[in-house]
Amino acid sequence: MDSAGEPRGSSGSELVAVGDYCYDCSSDGESSGSGGEESACVGDDYDFREEAVSTGEERYVVLTQNDLHGRQEEDIRQVSSVFSIPRGSACILLRQYKWNISKLSDEWFADEERVRTSVGLPAKGVILPDCQKLTCGICFEGYSTCALSSASCVHFYCPECWEGYISASINDGPGCLALQCPEPSCSAMVLEETINRLAKDEDKVKYKQLLLHSYIEDSKKIKWCPAPDCTYAVEFLGDGNYDVSCMCRFSFCWNCTEESHRPVSCETVSKWIFKKSAESGNMKWIIANSKPCPKCKRPIEKNHGCMHMTCRPPCNFQFCWLCLGAWSEHGNRTTGGYYACNRYESAKEQGIYDEAEAKREQAKNSLERYTHYYERWASNQTSRQKAQADLQKLESGNLAKLSDILGIPETQLKFIPEAWSQIVECRRVLKWTYAYGYYLDDKAKSEFFVYLQGEAESGLERLHKCAEKDIHVFLYKAGRSCILQDFSKFRVKLAGLTSVARNYFENLVRALEAGLND
């Protein structure tokens, strides 16, 4: 069975068939250098390189927290310098204009006074009253003039009241970034230096994080990685292909922030996810597998063999499952017996039940079709998760173990994790082809799609089997000699299957994205 898909040529070379392709895995097909069998396994001439994400410029850049802070500070410094205003004022302006320096500059130089008024940024500071004592506007306690603070307005408050006011606002969320004077009628903004001077240390940290988050969330080109607990962000530079990979190893679509889903569109993913979670699926099941009580109309599922149904309390109506008639009318003369109701068949012949049955049959077919695609979608998702776990296990120990057994540096074994990475990627693509197929309405294209999908499934299974099972032969051969020749064949076979799978799946993705028009 294992060799059925791997025909051998007359010269003894091994051909690995993947779809419509065959890859020569013969040891004679190695480099013709003088390294012999051992050099075929560990020679420097072998270098299996992964293809670049983009042949042109970079499509995206992964940014760390330090990168983001640096960019944010540079924008603040630039506005502060060009506008000749303090850093805190520049920060308020950028926040109010969603960090859009271009728009801010246009409006600022067109009408500075209007911009200042609209964001609550006074042009001049407030001169303290010429007195020794003032009253806090919140607690109404008397304080010396120098002990009170204001938001560049005429309303002064003590440090304790400021601290409580700022803390409550920061703990409420991002609204603190537009914090105004506590006086309801005053629109003066509270600057960052006021917060740094009067807030608690933990509140200062939260404020800086919220400020950084606003910098990302207001940006049109930078988004946070949606992986749990990930602190990286991704700046998108290209167009067309939105699939990006974060440094946390999570791959997602930059456009919709769902997991990477090529070849299907963001719209298709949205519909698929909704279908998985929406009540519409449950309603189809109810229609396909239940009937309404003739009296109260609640759906009833038949869970026993006989046709005598009793609705749930308080209805308790007894009826026949076949014809939905009252059970009290089922007698030997009228229906042919309690368990041989012929009223249904008679009514069906007259066309009375045709419409209801047609709806029920349509719902059942729709449910079966969805179940077919969903089960295969979920199975590939499970296989992908298992492949990710196997890749992690390989990198965390098995690769080093294999290196010791064979006496080969780990750098010469990189084709194995590359194969597993390709398996993970192919499982992802194959998974989403089932969502693609579910929404594909063109019958002619559907038949061609099923063929392409089957070829992809076949090729991937060969690669997955080779990476998952064939390697065990070498992992558990510790102490044996003369295994380099077998490993050389395994290397060529696995590298060949990886290359073929990569090429096939890339072509498949392009074909599906083009709508199978070629």
Assign 19 a pLDDT band (cuts: 50, 70, 90): very low
Rounded Cα gap, residues 214 and 98, in angstroms: 8
Residue type at position 164: G
Contact, 482 vs 517, CB < 8 A?
no
- Please give the mean pLDDT across all residues of the chain: 78
| Lowest mean per-residue pLDDT among 196-200, 204-208, 332-336 | 332-336
CB hemisphere CA count around 32 (13 angstroms) = 0
Give CA 174 to chain center in angstroms. Answer: 25
**Across residues 480-501, what is the average pLDDT?**
81
**Across residues 279-287, what is the average pLDDT?**
59
Q: Which long-range contacts (CB under 8 A, 24 or more apart) does 235-242 make?
A: 235/60, 235/61, 235/63, 236/59, 236/60, 237/57, 237/58, 237/59, 237/60, 237/61, 238/54, 238/56, 238/57, 238/58, 238/59, 238/60, 241/54, 241/59, 242/266
Q: Does residue 186 sit in helix, strand or coil?
A: coil
Of these residues, 306, 311, 320, 466, which one is catalytic? 306
22 is a catalytic site residue: no
Rounded Cα gap, residues 192 and 175, in angstroms: 14
Across the strands, what pairs with 142? 135
Assign 305 a pLDDT band (cuts: 50, 70, 90): low
Q: Does residue 103 sit in helix, strand or coil?
A: helix
Q: Which of 193, 244, 240 is closest to 223 using CA atoms? A: 244
Check whether 52 has a pLDDT greater than 90. Answer: no
Check whether 480 has a pLDDT greater than 70. Answer: no
Rounded Cα gap, residues 160 and 162, in angstroms: 5
Burial classification of residue 184, based on how many CB atoms lie within 10 Å of its CB (0-12 exposed, 13-18 middle, 19 or more buried) = exposed
Check whether 131 has a pLDDT greater than 80. Answer: no
Find the Cα–Cα–Cα–Cα dihedral 370, 374, 375, 378, rounded to 10°: -170
Q: Does residue 318 sit in helix, strand or coil?
A: strand
Q: What was the pLDDT predicted at 207?
A: 93
Q: What is the pLDDT of residues 379-436, one digit of tens each?
A: 889 899 999 988 888 888 778 887 877 778 888 888 988 999 999 999 999 999 999 9
Q: Tokens for 90, please give them.
A: 């520049």
| Lowest mean per-residue pLDDT among 52-66, 431-445, 458-472, 500-514 | 52-66
- DSSP assignment letter at 397: I
Contact, 188 vs 152, CB < 8 A?
yes
**Rounded alpha-carbon distances, angstroms, from residue 302 to 288, 291, 311:** 12, 8, 11
Q: What was the pLDDT predicted at 432?
A: 94
Rounded Cα gap, residues 479 and 481, in angstroms: 7
Sign of the C-alpha dihedral computed for residues 116, 119, 125 and 130 taken in this order = positive
